Structure 1
């Protein structure tokens, strides 16, 4: 394959997978109220559909690199797209909450392998001189997904049926598999080493039980005692893994990276911010539809405004970091990001749609700056040889944090609804949930304040020099 064609076609193939994942995640949250009615459950209970997907991602992301090395990147990538498509079809065919949650978990398994393995394919297929151009191609679907997803999901849900949203992935997935088989070599390592199976079982089992237990709190699907037991067992398994990881040479998740201040601030401290960030895609469409009575289409047309704010910030983030540095940016912007999330709780019936759209647009700016800064800072002090292993740790903690955001928002919304005693969910039930998740962003400030003033200075200078 000519180099110029490879620089375009390989990222395009990975972009097919990324576009599938981004569109799917934004489409589904717009359609949750309609799904809940058809499946006979409260819209809040459908948070299980979001967290089950995140659990699938978090469980399998740590092993995707080893699996690609063992069986070949093209084979694993194509199989992952196929698994994601099967999960999509099962979602469309679901007739119960349990079946739908299981189908979302299967989608999560496919998603965990698609994009990370796709990135591996890019960095192994192209010379380093082509990396920046290839990654630029790859960012297009990441930007388009949140723009296209909400209004598309809203349109299909309002004017067709929510089940049709899961067929959107099928032609994209078929194209991705066909292109992968034609243009990607099945590269793999001769001796990938042994997978840390004990560590994988402990970490995956612990995270899954803990997250699932929290998601079931207040759902009425299982008893409170069982949900507490799941959370306790999950927490114990995670604690055992922490002790285990200190004693093995190459654990599946090397928590030793958290001793690096910049990585700790980005991943551990940033997890508090991501809890708030993860809650918004679930909470905002629910507030607009159930609280303010909007159709799914109007709701989706409004929620996509945050994506435009995010795109704008991506064009100036390098200048902001170059001017103020990571530490000051993260401290000040955490307060703005938290406020931009909390202000959604002030929406009320009769509020002009254009004003809500404008607030959501601005609300996409500050979280985007925080998210981009945290992701850049994570690798400021990581040796190149350890980037892959550090990425596994960061990815799992990020996904768990985003899932926790949905779970916490759902729990606070349930409590608010019961305390206020409304027969059904109304607009005034939402402000405590938005306030709580907004405060999580602000709670990340004390962690960030421990950073040295010049943290990530080389990256900030480099970013400034490239703009």
Structure 2
């Protein structure tokens, strides 16, 4: 029999999945230049290895809520971890960019079910007053991935071989499956209803073609015309889905949730913010290695500093929200996060490593507070029966925005390199890319500014109560 679900053990179990996913994501971006050399491609082209994962997410996240309701959240969670591990092994065996892209897509299928279903498990298991505490229990252990991943990936890449990085998450995944068997109940809805196959095909095909087309712009795997046609076709399918979803009784992605102010601010404003932050894990290691000439190990040792900043903020996030409220925190913090991203563009050869480390450390503080606020606010006004469907909407938009960040950063970097006439990227090519993606984080401010005063009061009251007791 599984133990009683509470705000402590369940988030930590789901954190195993997030830890595995975050380790995988951070080790691969640290190893991109070495991967590019071995596979015979430009390092910028390796953005496909990141966006192909997001495409896998975009295809299957929309049905994660229905699948969890139909087959049980624990069953789907365990299978998802298994698929993710299979994708990791395929990545290790890849001998070409196309094979690596396909293997990352398989990982994306696992990730599409793994983390969103884990969130469903959490938000169905804790009261609203415990949301922030649950998110922190979930996020802090998961943040260890960015602490461990970059230096570990850099060490393996520099002193061993990049293929070994994909074996790191295998024991973590096995441990997560074992914990899920012991401590998570197989919750599901009695009558989840039929799956919206028309909506699934439209949204999946639209998101896949749009993201893949953008990722192929300026790349070596397809011509510009092919990339353009794919992007436009994907955009048209997404627009078609928008009109379809307004009329469908139970669409696979119910966009009507976006009419709820707190959910709209969290998802739309949060996605603009995530475009800026999604680019950083791709741009920063590339800038340190290709721009400043650092080894993968030194680069990883520097980029992990942001995780320390994130963990620090998690320890005081509830107090900050209790004092200032969601609306003010989301607006001011977005501006500070944008400034931190732009600051990365000022690094140049000869910049002291300790100074870069400190800037990256501070840069990790603001995203941590923003994500805690956004993830908690998203479900403030969502009924328990709708959490699965709302999670599908939030997750697919958020993940696609992270992929867009990588894609946009890669395009701006290519344009910057071409305009400056460089055969290979150098340090001066990076500042326009950092400045461009920083603007997206700042662009989230007008969206969150529309939040009614007092939004999220139920959550905030829970936070204030706990802070008062602690004091």
**In structure 2, how many angstroms separate the alpha carbons of the residues matched to 1:32 and 1:445?**
32
Q: CA deviation at 1:203?
A: 0.6
**In structure 1, how many angstroms separate the alpha carbons of the residues matched to 2:169 and 2:62?**
25
| 1:411 is aligned to 2:407 | no
Name the residue aligned to 1:355.
355
**In structure 2, how many angstroms separate the alpha carbons of the residues matched to 1:330 and 1:179?**
35
**In structure 2, how many angstroms separate the alpha carbons of the residues matched to 1:330 and 1:5?**
31
SS at match of 1:379: coil
Deviations along 1:275-332, one digit per CA (max 9) or x if unpaired, are 0010001000000000001111111110010111111111222222222222222222
Unaligned runs of 5+ in 1: none
Q: CA deviation at 1:335?
A: 1.4
Q: CA deviation at 1:48?
A: 0.6
Deviations along 1:168-222, one digit per CA (max 9) or x if unpaired, are 1222223333444566555544533211111111111101110110011011321
**In structure 2, how many angstroms separate the alpha carbons of the residues matched to 1:346 and 1:256?**
42
C-alpha change, 1:118 and 1:441, in structure 2 (3 Å) is closer
**In structure 2, how many angstroms separate the alpha carbons of the residues matched to 1:354 and 1:62?**
43
Deviates most, 281-290 or 171-180 = 171-180
- Relative to the length of structure 2, the TM-score reads 0.93
Name the residue aligned to 2:261.
261
**In structure 1, how many angstroms separate the alpha carbons of the residues matched to 2:77 and 2:206?**
27
SS at match of 1:246: helix
Q: CA deviation at 1:346?
A: 0.1
What pairs up with 1:124-273 in 2 under 5 angstroms?
Answer: 138-181=138-181, 186-273=186-273
What pairs up with 1:276-295 in 2 under 5 angstroms?
Answer: 276-295=276-295
**In structure 1, how many angstroms separate the alpha carbons of the residues matched to 2:185 and 2:330?**
41
What pairs up with 1:338-353 in 2 under 5 angstroms?
Answer: 338-353=338-353
What pairs up with 1:383-402 in 2 under 5 angstroms?
Answer: 383-402=383-402
Name the residue aligned to 1:22.
22
Q: CA deviation at 1:124?
A: 6.6
C-alpha change, 1:201 and 1:419, in structure 2 (3 Å) is same
Deviates most, 300-309 or 319-328 = 319-328
Deviations along 1:22-62, one digit per CA (max 9) or x if unpaired, are 21111111111110111111111111111111111222122
| 1:111 is aligned to 2:111 | yes
C-alpha change, 1:370 and 1:95, in structure 2 (3 Å) is same
C-alpha change, 1:257 and 1:61, in structure 2 (3 Å) is same
C-alpha change, 1:2 and 1:454, in structure 2 (3 Å) is closer
Name the residue aligned to 1:432.
432
Deviations along 1:118-169, one digit per CA (max 9) or x if unpaired, are 3445567899999998766544431211111111111111110110000112
**In structure 2, how many angstroms separate the alpha carbons of the residues matched to 1:272 and 1:423?**
32
**In structure 2, how many angstroms separate the alpha carbons of the residues matched to 1:53 and 1:168?**
18
SS at match of 1:245: helix
Name the residue aligned to 1:75.
75
**In structure 1, how many angstroms separate the alpha carbons of the residues matched to 2:62 and 2:409?**
27
**In structure 2, how many angstroms separate the alpha carbons of the residues matched to 1:343 and 1:117?**
36
Name the residue aligned to 1:38.
38
C-alpha change, 1:134 and 1:440, in structure 2 (3 Å) is closer
**In structure 2, how many angstroms separate the alpha carbons of the residues matched to 1:168 and 1:4?**
31
| 1:321 is aligned to 2:321 | yes
Q: CA deviation at 1:454?
A: 2.7
Q: CA deviation at 1:104?
A: 0.3
Name the residue aligned to 2:310.
310
Equivalent pairs counted in the alignment come to: 467
SS at match of 2:31: helix
C-alpha change, 1:173 and 1:28, in structure 2 (3 Å) is same
Deviates most, 43-52 or 260-269 = 260-269
**In structure 1, how many angstroms separate the alpha carbons of the residues matched to 2:101 and 2:108?**
11
C-alpha change, 1:388 and 1:247, in structure 2 (3 Å) is same
Deviates most, 153-162 or 123-132 = 123-132
Q: CA deviation at 1:266?
A: 1.8
Unaligned runs of 5+ in 2: none
SS at match of 2:247: coil
C-alpha change, 1:187 and 1:310, in structure 2 (3 Å) is closer
C-alpha change, 1:85 and 1:278, in structure 2 (3 Å) is same
Q: CA deviation at 1:426?
A: 0.6
